[in-house]
Amino acid sequence: MRTLVWDVDDVLNDLMLQWFSHGWLTEHPACAISFEDLTCNPPHTILGVDRAAYLESMDRFRRTERALNMTPNAEVLTWFREHGHLFRHLALTSRPLETAPDVAHWVMRHFGAWIRCFGVVPSRPESGVPVYDQSKGDFLTWLKLGDALIDDSTENIRQAESLGLRTFQPAQPWNDSRLTIGTVLQQLTQLAGEP
């Protein structure tokens, strides 16, 4: 049985859209930028702020009730219900370590029937916390598991491909993919039938 490695934010959920709509625009009501204008991630340059200001805003949002209770991507959840049993699954996220318990709880609450493993690569160094991995590629190299990665980050896709994993990148404003999440899910279903 093949193992799929799932990015959480912006694949299983729509964190960036939720943050932009209910965090950033609430904090900056005069902002004339649309979500589709966020053509790089992190988007601080497009937003006209330094990286620290963007991270502070995102970190505040991650602690809100709205973030803790985000609705999972409906297409993905339906796919899991219909086809999830055909694979083993691992969630792999990169975010501040202090927010990992919340997102792990979110993953298990919505996808725990299928996703039984959860990995995190801290997105920023923290004092007193050992650094095991600098990237998802490092994590996957250590883990030595996974047949495919589903991720919105072009860099994570590149690293996974260099390790020989199949990759599926759902389109987001900050990547060049043209694959809708529906197309990605169709391709994953086809993967289950391949020898």
For 46-82, how does the pLDDT look when each residue is reduced to its tens digit (9 = 90+)?
999 999 999 999 999 999 999 999 999 999 999 999 9
pTM: 0.96
Residue 125 pLDDT level (bands cut at 50, 70, 90)? confident
The most distant pair of C-alpha atoms in the chain lies apart, rounded to whole Å, by 54
Collect all residues with Cβ–Cβ distance below 8 Å to 158 and sequence separation of at least 6. none
Tell me what pLDDT residue 25 has.
97
Mean pLDDT of 144-158: 97
3-14+72-193 belongs to CATH 3.40.50.300: no
Mean pLDDT of 90-113: 97
Asked if 87 contacts 4 with a C-beta cutoff of 8 angstroms, the reply is yes
SS3 2: coil
Residue 24 pLDDT level (bands cut at 50, 70, 90)? very high
Burial environment of residue 11 by CB neighbours within 10 A (0 to 12, 13 to 18, 19 or more): buried
Q: Residue 176 pLDDT more than 90?
A: yes
